[in-house]
Amino acid sequence: SYELTQPPSVSVSPGQTARITCSGDALPKKYAYWYQQKSGQAPVLVIYEDTKRPSGIPERFSGSSSGTMATLTISGAQVEDESDYYCYSIDSSGNHKVFGGGTKLTVL
Amino acid sequence: QVQLVESGGGLVKPGGSLRLSCAASGFTFSDYYMSWVRQAPGEGLEWLSYISSSSSTINYADSVKGRFTISRDNAKNSLYLQMNSLRVEDTAVYYCARDPNPPTGTRYFDYWGQGTLVTVSS
């Protein structure tokens, strides 16, 4: 089965840039999506189709993808950005829709 | 604004059944694909199933294929998940999510409900 691999945790100080990676064999051909999930809440889409930001998402959130790795970048991370972040994509056949294991971002 | 409200969760014994519902509002429900995604306690997200706007296309994750059935009623703006032969490992918060059905054809989720907890235990 297809897997997306994320680091379990990332920690930055307020104002620093946080980068969360997601690796998967199909990412050169398939888009990556990123979700933010705060404790006890539903996930929120923050990046879609590798680089696009939904309306209402702060500009400090950006996405990129190169080869088998997609990256979520939070420029000037704020305390309120502390959350779990999940990448999502599909395998090369399109049949398996998969989330990464999640990355806990700590901002302190 | 887009609202998705799940209901129907609860405590059920292994082998039992449960039907979840998701009431949609704030958008034209019949224009969108919909999905169910779950999250076991302390764990990550797992996509379970999607259904096309007209119910003509349905897909399931291997983990629930043959046990769960997704359906929708566009007249009632509602999405359903019939869950049979439930197992302890099906214990999770179940979310319904809207799929924007983009031109790329890639299924993803732009709005989520708050979820409903299903606990499978004897």
Contacts of A93 (CB under 8 A, 6+ apart): none
Give the residue from B45, B58, B109 with the most A CB atoms within 10 Å of its CB, the best one to mutate.
B45
Cβ distance B61 to A97 less than 8 Å, yes or no, reads: yes
Q: How far apart (Å, rounded) are the C-alpha atoms in residues A56 and A36? A: 13
Task: Identify all chain A residues contacting B107, using CB atoms and an 8 Å cutoff.
Answer: 90, 97
DSSP lists the bridge partners of residue A22 as A70
Task: Identify all chain A residues contacting B111, using CB atoms and an 8 Å cutoff.
Answer: 45
Cβ distance B113 to A41 less than 8 Å, yes or no, reads: no
| Interface residues of chain A, partner chain B, Cβ below 8 Å | 1, 30-31, 33, 35, 37, 41-45, 48-49, 54, 86, 88, 90, 94-102
For chain B, how far is it from start to end, CA to CA, in angstroms?
Answer: 40
Q: How far is A17 from chain B (nearest CA, A)?
A: 24
Q: How confident is the model at residue B76 (pLDDT cuts 50, 70, 90)?
A: very high
Q: Hey, what are A5's tokens?
A: 């691999």
Q: How far apart (Å, rounded) are the C-alpha atoms in residues A34 and A38? A: 13
Cα–Cα separations (whole angstroms), residue A67 to A52, A90, B89: 18, 15, 35
Q: How confident is the model at residue B33 (pLDDT cuts 50, 70, 90)?
A: very high
- The whole-number mean pLDDT for each consecutive block of 10 residues of chain A, a chain of 108 residues, reads 96 97 96 97 97 97 97 97 97 91 96
Would the pLDDT of B111 be above 90?
yes
* Residue (of B23, B45, B40) closest to B113 by Cα position: B23
* Residue (of B119, B36, B39) closest to B79 by Cα position: B36
Q: Is residue A101 within 8 Å of B40, Cβ to Cβ?
A: no
- Beta-carbon-side half-sphere exposure of residue B11 (alpha carbons within 13 Å): 2
Q: Does B3 touch chain A (CB under 8 A)?
A: no
| Res B120: pLDDT | 98
| Res B115: pLDDT | 98
